[in-house]
């Protein structure tokens, strides 16, 4: 097989409904970039037989990854033979290495292992077993080996389903070679810089951010914000909370939890003071247990849909520290924030929501609004500084200004109306524990695919001309 033709790789983590619109975007991108061969990591026969997809791919040569990989990268016996000794040796010393001293590529690889082992562990596991650790190391070495082999095939672009777990390792190999890498998150396809992590809503592309901000209408922003805080916005996690009517005016301090085993590290922040969610919650409980105040820990509304029971680990950590002043909130919505004094999040969307309601939150890792304006939140630089923030009685300093509220509302609108294509493509939110909904999602997206062809192709064209993110219909109208 000739390696002269430019190729694009589509990683195998996409479910079929995602591929419907992503392939449509990519076919236009490839046409404009002179890419005429598509390597599919996973055989998706249903997609390839879809009439509209078949028509778009008629001028492309479709190659399946298993057909071009050598035997030693396909056969588990040979892979074990090659990679297990290396994985074993690596497992003996990798935890002793200071992550912050690693170069960019090494940091990506090490963090992929951390992500992977947490994902593979069971609910309530604080320190994954050696078996899980070894498996995580092996899987990342495997992904790295395959990526290094594929580099030689004149790859014009790589498209992956996310940028965490072993896929982060995979992406880093191509990024190092300056090959365009596009990731999916939150129904957005965005380009990763060579040696800096981007996210679907960070928008390091300041020219694009300024163009969007300049043309956003304040009236629309304010109307949407009011709608969102009635539980009628476009963001499913936020709306889900409103299905459970729970308000308590006595709640003053709240820790907004994430899904423990769902990696937040699309965008790696080397300056954060905690390694992961578990480390963060463990240390936070240790600090606040000595406070005279009551602290509430709010369960993420989609933990069950993801397939996790967060109570197991949370109750274990509370018991470990004998924390008598901690309460667990299983329900409750963002309306709770109207009476709060302090809000703490690792890096969640509650950051913008809190600011818009007048509260400067404490965050641990970079969020889009912090990247835009570092004065708009509190981000501790040390454990000692974090403890002082949690224990502070100077509540006035945790109040956001009117201008900061306006900025947060703009970010909320941009995140939920401009940067995501979900409503435009008629898709539904799917979580790891909701496999039965995949068929319904496919049917819904496919029903609108013909109507959306022009819109999706326009996104593909814009990506080929240097745009870093796909945009909703409204978003496209704002920038062109």
- Residue 250 reports pLDDT greater than 90: no
Burial class of 5 by CB neighbour count within 10 A (0 to 12, 13 to 18, 19+): middle
- Residue 138 reports pLDDT greater than 90: yes
pLDDT recorded at residue 193: 93
| Interval 36-91: pLDDT, tens | 999 999 998 889 999 999 999 999 999 999 999 999 999 999 999 999 999 999 99
H-run or E-run covering 43: none
H-run or E-run covering 63: strand 61-64
Between 306 and 248, the higher pLDDT residue: 306
Which percentage of the chain shows pLDDT scores above 70? 95
Strand residues in 244-341 grouped as ranges (E): 253-256, 295-298, 326-329
Q: Token digits for 201?
A: 């809503």
In this structure, of 64-73, 224-233, 239-248, 443-452, the range with the lowest mean pLDDT score is 239-248
- Residue 245 reports pLDDT greater than 80: no
CB neighbours (10 Å) of residue 120?
18
- How far apart, in whole angstroms, are the C-alpha atoms of residue 324 and residue 322? 6
CA distance readout (Å), 158 to 181, 221, 392: 5, 35, 47
pLDDT recorded at residue 234: 78
Nearest by Cα to 144 from 196, 95, 86, 96: 86
Nearest by Cα to 459 from 427, 418, 431: 418
- How far apart, in whole angstroms, are the C-alpha atoms of residue 93 and residue 397? 44
Q: Which residue has the tokens 């016996």?
A: 77
pLDDT recorded at residue 373: 95
pLDDT recorded at residue 246: 55
Which percentage of the chain shows pLDDT scores above 90? 83
pLDDT band at 434; cut points 50, 70, 90: confident
- Each domain of the chain, given as residue ranges in start order, spans 208-418
Please give the average per-residue pLDDT across 269-275, as a whole number.
94
Q: What is the overall mean pLDDT for the chain?
A: 93
| Interval 351-379: pLDDT, tens | 999 999 999 999 999 999 999 999 999 99
| Interval 167-211: pLDDT, tens | 999 999 999 999 999 999 999 999 999 989 999 999 999 899 999
Q: Token digits for 217?
A: 């209408």
State how beta strands 61-64 and 253-256 pair: unpaired
* Contact indicator for 39, 7 with CB cutoff of 8 Å: yes
pLDDT recorded at residue 2: 45
CA distance readout (Å), 383 to 107, 119, 286, 287: 22, 26, 11, 10
State the pTM of this model.
0.94
pLDDT recorded at residue 1: 41
- How far apart, in whole angstroms, are the C-alpha atoms of residue 386 and residue 72? 49
- Residue 3 reports pLDDT greater than 80: no
Between 241 and 401, the higher pLDDT residue: 401
Provide the edge-to-edge strand list for the sheet that holds 362-363.
326-329, 295-298, 253-256, 342-345, 362-363
Q: Which residue has the tokens 């890419």?
A: 35
Contacts of 319 (CB under 8 A, 6+ apart): none
- Residue 267 reports pLDDT greater than 60: yes
Architecture of domain 208-418: 3-Layer(aba) Sandwich (3.40)
């Amino acid at each position: 097989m000739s390696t002269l033709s430019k190729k694009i790789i589509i990683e195998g983590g996409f479910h079929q409904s995602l591929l419907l619109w992503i392939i449509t975007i990519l076919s236009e991108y490839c046409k404009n970039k002179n890419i005429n061969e598509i390597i599919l990591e996973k055989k998706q026969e249903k997609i390839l037989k879809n009439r509209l997809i078949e028509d778009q791919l008629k001028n492309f040569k479709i190659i399946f990854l298993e057909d071009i990989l050598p035997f030693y990268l396909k056969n588990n016996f040979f892979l074990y033979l090659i990679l297990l000794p290396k994985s074993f040796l690596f497992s003996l010393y990798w935890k002793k290495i200071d992550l912050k001293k690693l170069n960019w590529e090494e940091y990506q690889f090490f963090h992929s292992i951390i992500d992977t082992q947490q994902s593979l562990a069971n609910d309530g596991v604080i320190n994954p077993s050696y078996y899980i650790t070894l498996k995580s190391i092996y899987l990342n070495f495997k992904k790295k080996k395959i990526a290094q082999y594929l580099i030689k095939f004149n790859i014009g672009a790589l498209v992956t389903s996310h940028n965490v777990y072993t896929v982060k390792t995979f992406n880093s190999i191509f990024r190092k070679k300056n090959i365009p890498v596009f990731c999916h998150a939150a129904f957005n396809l965005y380009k990763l810089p060579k040696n800096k992590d981007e996210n679907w809503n960070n928008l390091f592309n300041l020219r694009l951010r300024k163009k969007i901000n300049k043309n956003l209408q304040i009236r629309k922003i304010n109307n949407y914000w009011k709608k969102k805080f009635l539980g009628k916005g476009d963001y499913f996690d936020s709306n889900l909370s409103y299905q459970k009517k729970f308000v308590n005016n006595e709640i003053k301090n709240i820790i907004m939890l994430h899904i423990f085993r769902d990696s937040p590290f699309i965008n790696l922040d080397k300056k954060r003071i905690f390694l992961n969610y578990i480390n963060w919650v463990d240390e936070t409980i240790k600090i606040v247990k000595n406070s005279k105040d009551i602290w509430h820990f709010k369960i993420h509304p989609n933990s069950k849909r993801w397939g996790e029971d967060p109570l197991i680990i949370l109750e274990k950590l509370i018991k470990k520290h004998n924390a008598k002043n901690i309460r667990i909130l299983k329900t409750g919505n963002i309306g709770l924030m109207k009476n709060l004094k302090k809000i703490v999040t690792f890096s969640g969307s509650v950051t913008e929501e809190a600011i818009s309601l007048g509260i400067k939150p404490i965050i641990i890792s970079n969020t889009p609004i912090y990247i835009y304006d570092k004065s708009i939140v509190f981000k501790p630089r040390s454990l000692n500084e974090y403890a002082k923030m949690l224990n502070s009685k100077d509540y006035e300093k945790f109040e956001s200004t009117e201008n900061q509220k306006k900025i947060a509302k703009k970010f909320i609108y941009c995140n939920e109306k401009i940067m995501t294509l979900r409503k435009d493509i008629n898709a539904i939110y799917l979580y790891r524990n909701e496999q039965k909904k995949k068929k319904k999602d496919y049917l819904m997206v496919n029903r609108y695919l013909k109507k959306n062809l022009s819109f999706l192709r326009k996104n593909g064209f814009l990506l080929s001309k240097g745009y870093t993110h796909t945009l909703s219909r409204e978003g496209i109208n704002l920038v062109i």
